[in-house]
Amino acid sequence: MAEKSPRYPRDFHGHGADRPDAAWPGGARIAVSFVLNYEEGGENCLLHGDAASEAFLSEIVGAAPWPGQRHWNMESIYDYGARAGFWRLHRLFTETRVPVTVYGVATALARSPAQVEAMQEADWEIASHGLKWIDYKDHTPEDEAADMDAAIKLHTEVTGARPMGWYTGRCSVNTVALAAQRGFDWISDTYDDDLPYWIDADGRDQLIIPYTLDCNDMRFATPQGFNAGDQFFAYLRDSFDALYAEGTSGRPAMLSIGLHCRLIGRPGRVQALRKFIEYINGFEGVWCARRTDIAAHWAATHPPQRRHNWHLLGQEAFVSTFGGIFEHSPWIAEGAWALELGPAHDSAQGLHNALCRVFRAASDDQRLEVLRAHPDLAGKLAAAKRLTDESTAEQASAGLDALTDDERHQFDTQNSAYVAKHGFPFIIAVKDHDKAGILRAFERRIGNDSATEFTEACKQVERIARLRLEDME
C-alpha cells in the first residue's frame, strides 16, 4: 500500500489568467458592493457575558481588553455607531439611492429594533455577521456551529426572515465549511478574488463572494491605515478606476467596500464616502448591488460547473488515468501522485507542471528510456497498428496515416538515419505541424549534435504530454 500523498488545500489558480466575463446586468463594467457592518451591541463586553471588554476597531488604537471589567470609553465609542453613525449613513445611502448589504451581528440587531426597521424600509439586505462579534480561531467546530445556529435563530426572530448570506469575519479555519452546511446562498469569509466563485462543500455547490480588508474603513483604526478621509477616498477611487478600466477591456469585476457605523459614520470621515458615491455616479456602466443580487446573478449566469478533482485521485486511479501521458512511462505519473498536489493542479496546465517535475528530476538514463519508448513517425509499429491510442491519433492528425509511397520512403530513411546518429527516435509534437513541416524539422535537426537533440527531444516529449492533457480537459 502506497503512503498517502501530500495534498495542499489552498487554491492559487482561481479563475486563472483569463477570468470569466461577469456579464453584469445591463453590460455594466463593474459591480460595486457597499457593506455596512452592524456590530454595535454585539462586541465583547461583560454585559454580553464575555470575560473582558472589546479591544478591536475603535478610536482607541492599540486598546487592550480589560479582563473582568467594563470599559466605559470603549462601550461609549460603540454606542456612537448605533446612536449617530448608523443614522448618518442611513441618510446618505437612502438619499443617493445606493443599495446596501448589512453584515448584522445577531445580538447587535436584537438590541437595535429601530435600526433594523430602517434597514428593512430601505430594502437593505441583512446578512448574518454571527451571533456575537468575537474571535473564533480557538473555538471547537462544535462550539462555533452552535453559535451559528443560535445566530440564525435569533436573526430570524429579529428580522422575520432567515439570513441567506454569511460573514463571520473573525473566523476559524472551519467557518466556511460550517456555514456551507447551513445552506446559505453566499458566504463572504474569504478575501481571495475580485469575482464570486463556487466551491465544492462536501458535495454541495457553495457560492463564495469574496470580501475586502483593504477597501475598508477598519483601516482608520489600525496601524499604517487611513488617517484622513481624503486617504480613504483616494484609495477607493483608485481601486474603482483600476477595476473599471479592466471592465472596459472586457473583464468586469467586483469592488467590495467595507464600512462600520462607528468609523465611517463620524463627521470627519463620512464626506469621503459621499465624495466616492458622487464620483462613481459620474460613470456609465456601474452596477451598485446588494450581495444577494450579485449572488442571484452569478448563479443564473455562471452556474456551478464540476471541475476535475485530479489531485484527490488515489494512486491506482491517478496512474491509470495519467500513466500514458508520457509514452509507456507510468513511473512519471507515480512520481507526480506523490508530490504535494492541490486544486491548482486540476487542469492541463497544473498537472503538466507536476508530471514534468518528475521527468526533469529523472536521470539522463531514465529520460533516455522515455525517449526510446516513443515510436518512429510513420514507422513499422504504425503500419502494424501497434501504436498507443494517443500516438495513433497524434500521427493521424498530421496525416501520417495516409502517406504516399514516396513520403513513406522519406520517413523511413530519415528515421533510420536519425536513430543511427542519436540513439533514440525523432520526436516532435506532430499536432503542432503538418507533414511538410515535420519533414523540414527532420532535415534541420538531424544535423544537430546528440546533446542538443536530447534536450530538444525532451522538450518535445513535454509538449506532447501537454497536448494529451489538454485533450482530457
C-alpha 99/C-alpha 294 separation (Å) is 12
CA-based radius of gyration for the chain: 30
**Strands of 130-268, DSSP E:** 165-166, 186-187, 197-201, 204-208, 253-260
Tell me if residue 374 is catalytic.
Answer: yes
CA–CA separation, 284 and 309 (whole Å):
40
Select which of 374, 409, 422, 433 is catalytic.
374
List strand residue ranges (DSSP E) for 59-180, in order.
101-104, 125-128, 165-166
3-state secondary structure of 152: helix
Q: Please check whether residue 465 is in contact with residue 356, taking contact to mean a CB–CB distance below 8 angstroms.
A: yes
Q: Smallest Cα–Cα separation from 356: which of 473, 471, 472, 460?
A: 460
Residue 147, phi-psi category: left (phi > 0), alpha (psi -120 to 50), beta (remainder): alpha
**125-128 vs 101-104, strand pairing mode:** parallel
Burial class (CB in 10 A: 0-12, 13-18, 19+), 82: buried
Query: Torsion-angle region of residue 429: left (phi > 0), alpha (psi -120 to 50) or beta?
Result: beta
Integer Cα distance of 409 and 391 in angstroms? 20
Strands (E) located in 235-389 = 253-260, 286-288
Residue with cell 464570486: 196
Please report how the helices 330-337 and 315-322 are oriented relative to each other, as an axis angle in degrees rounded to 10: 140
User: What residues are annotated to the active site?
Assistant: 374
